[in-house]
Every structure is written in C-alpha cells, then in structure tokens.
C-alpha cells in the first residue's frame, strides 16, 4: 500500500513510519525538514507545509491512504481535511487525542478536575478536529485516540481497543507509541472502524 504520512518525525510519527515499513508498505514521509528522515528502502521524504492546502494536496495525490500525526495546535484541521479531499485519496487516518474520551459517563477527560491545564489547548483542538471529521461525508476517515499517557515504550502487540471511553487499569491509562502504531496500521490494513473514533490502551 502507498501511504502518505504527514508528521513522520514526531514521537508517534516515527513509530508509525517504522511499523509501516516493517510491514512492507511504501511510505511518503511528509515533513518540514526531510533531512530528519532516516534514508531507508520504501521511504521517500518530501518537504511539506501543512498550512499550504494546495501544495499538500499535490503531495498526497496517488496514495492509497493518508495518515496525519500532528499536534492539533500546530495545524489547521480544516485545511488538512480539504487537502486530503482535493488529493482524491479517500482513506484518512488521524492520530487522535485522549481529551475527548469519556473518563466517566457524561464526563470528558478534558473536563475532569485533575486534567493538566497545560494540555487543555491541544486536547480542545483535538476535539474540534474529531467533530469536523464526524461531519465529513466524502472521506473514509478513522480517528484513533491513545490512552491518557501516550509515551515511549515497548512494541508488545498486547493492548485493548475501545470506542469512546477511556481505557484504564489499576496502573492508570497508558499506551506506548510503539503499540499505538501497531493498532493504527492494523486499522489501515483491515479497516474495522470506518468513519469512527476508537481508542487503544492497556
């Protein structure tokens, strides 16, 4: 599969790139600085500006799917969605956030009393992105929310999937970037959540 990965040098993006190449996909890594992408077979690095809708659409053309792994406060969801739509690619996977997940019935994580104030702008922007996707009728989108703690770790392949509720254990709510990447590429290869948000955690 030919996959355009926007934000391939971020924490999640690096692991998604590794998982895609591990499984033999051909990846166009779209980043601000192509020199930061390690040369490897099956990966082509391209410089892209996520705020330049027209040029981004040109970079996305001809791919089977687009994955965006970007900070919500460092991008414009409307321009991203419009660029994907204009490119003619219909499959669109988004690295989501945990803030819009339900921490308790009727209570979003972002609204929980102990939610860190410094993360609220990013979490709120992620919720806006998800709402925009839910109104989207042309794209076959999926928004994959990580657990509350989204951190470096091991690639174990052992995790749980959920829908709109935050996944927790006695140790808290977490998922490694590495296992998150497995869940996302699984969804890419065998879509099980078309036009839905789902979540992954331990």
Q: Which of 175, 150, 149 is nearest to 161 (CA)?
A: 175
> Which residues are registered as beta bridge partners of 65?
3
- Between CA 86 and CA 46 the distance in angstroms is 18
Per residue in 47-81, pLDDT (tens digit) is 999 999 999 999 999 999 999 999 999 999 999 99
Question: Quick one: which H or E segment has residue 22?
Answer: helix 11-22
What letter does residue 135 receive in the DSSP assignment? Answer: T
At residue 2, the pLDDT reads 98
Angle at 22 between CA 85 and CA 30, to 5 degrees: 35
Give the dihedral sign, CA 11/12/17/22: positive
Helix or strand (DSSP H, E) at 143? strand 140-145
Specify which residues 175 forms β-bridges with: 150
Tens-place pLDDT, residues 75-109: 999 999 999 999 999 999 999 999 999 999 999 99
Q: How many CB atoms lie within 10 A of CB 86?
A: 15
Per-residue pLDDT tens for 10-60? 999 999 999 999 999 999 999 999 999 999 999 999 999 999 999 999 999
Report yes or no on whether pTM surpasses 0.85. Answer: yes
């Amino acid at each position: 599969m030919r996959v355009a990965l926007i934000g391939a040098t971020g924490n999640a993006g690096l692991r998604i790139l590794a998982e895609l190449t591990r499984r033999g996909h051909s990846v166009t890594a779209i980043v601000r600085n192509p020199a930061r992408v390690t040369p490897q077979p099956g990966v082509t690095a391209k410089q892209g500006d996520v705020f330049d809708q027209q040029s981004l659409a040109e970079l996305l053309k001809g791919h089977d799917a687009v994955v965006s792994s970007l900070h919500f406060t460092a991008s414009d969801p409307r321009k991203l969605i419009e660029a994907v739509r204009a490119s003619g690619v219909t499959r669109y996977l988004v690295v989501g956030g945990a803030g819009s997940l339900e921490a308790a019935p009727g209570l979003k994580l972002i609204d929980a009393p102990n939610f860190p104030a410094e993360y609220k702008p990013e979490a709120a922007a992620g919720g806006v992105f998800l709402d925009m996707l839910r109104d989207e009728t042309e794209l076959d989108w999926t928004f994959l929310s990580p657990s509350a703690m989204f951190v470096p770790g091991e690639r174990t392949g052992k995790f749980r999937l959920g829908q709109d509720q935050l996944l927790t254990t006695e140790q808290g709510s977490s998922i490694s970037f590495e296992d998150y990447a497995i869940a996302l590429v699984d969804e890419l290869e065998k879509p099980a959540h078309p036009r839905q948000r789902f979540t992954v955690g331990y």
